[in-house]
Structure 1
Amino acid sequence: MVSVVSLLGAGVIGVMLGGICLVSQRKSLFGVLLSMEVFTLGVYTTILSMFWVLAELGSLCLIFLAFGVCEAALGLSVLVSLVRSVGSDYVSGLVSGHF
C-alpha cells in the first residue's frame, strides 16, 4: 500500500511539474513538447496507481499510453517541419510568417 501511495504522489508531482513548465515555456517549441511529455507521464503514473488499487480496467492504461505516444510522434513531426522551414524551434519565428 505504501508503494501505491508513493506512486500516486510521484504522479501528482509529475502533473504539477509538467503543468508549471508548460505554462512558463514561451520561447522554444521543444521545451513545450518536453513539458507535455512530463505532464502525460505524470497522468499515466496517476492512472496506473489508481488502477493498481482497484485492480480493474488495466487495458485503459495501455490505451492512454498509446495516445501519449501518438501525441509525442505528432509533436516531433511538427517540430521537425518547423526546424526545416524556419531554421529554429523558437516560437517567435512563427510570428514573422515564414512558416
Structure 2
Amino acid sequence: MLKFSMGVFIFLVMMVCGLSAFISKHKHLLNALLGLEFMMLSVFGMISVNVTGMGMEVYFVMFFLVLVACEGALGLSLLVSIVRSHGNDYFSSLGVLSC
C-alpha cells in the first residue's frame, strides 16, 4: 500500500509543477502548451497507477492517451498557424480580436 500511495504522491507533485508552469507568466505560447502536456502526463500516470492497482482493464487508459496525443497535435497545429500568421508566438503580440 505504501508503494501505491507514493506513486500517487509523485504524480500529484508532477501535477502541481505542471500547473505552476502553466499559471506562471511566460512570454511564449509554447511554454504554456508544455505546462498543459506535463499536467496531462501526470493525470495519465495517476490513472494508470490506479487502474493497474485495482486490476481493471487498461482500455480506458489507452483511450485517454489517444485523447492526450490528439490534444497535443491540435495545440502544436495552432502554434504553427499562429507563428505563420503573426511571425512569433509571444503573448504580447497576440490580441483577442486578431486571433
**Fold-level match, TM-score > 0.5?**
yes
Q: Secondary structure at the match of 1:88?
A: coil
Structure 1 stretches of 4+ moved >6 Å: none
2:6 — aligned with what?
6
Q: Which amino acid aligns with 1:65?
A: L
Segments of 5+ residues of structure 1 without an aligned counterpart are none
CA contact (8 A) 1:4 1:52 kept: no
- Deviation sequence 1:7-51 (CA, Å, 0-9, x none): 222211111111111111342110010000100000000111111
Distance 2:76 2:62 in 1: 21
1:76 — aligned with what?
76
Matched, 1:47 2:47: yes
> How many percent of aligned residue pairs carry the same amino acid?
31
Matched, 1:21 2:21: yes
CA RMSD of aligned residues (A): 1.8
Segments of 5+ residues of structure 2 without an aligned counterpart are none
**Relative to structure 1, is the Cα distance of residues 85 and 24 closer, same or farther in structure 2, using a 3 angstrom cutoff?**
same
Aligned pairs, how many? Answer: 99
Distance 1:29 1:91 in 2: 7
CA contact (8 A) 1:85 1:98 kept: no
TM-score, with length taken from structure 2: 0.88
TM-score, with length taken from structure 1: 0.88
Q: Which amino acid aligns with 1:76?
A: L
1:90 — aligned with what?
90
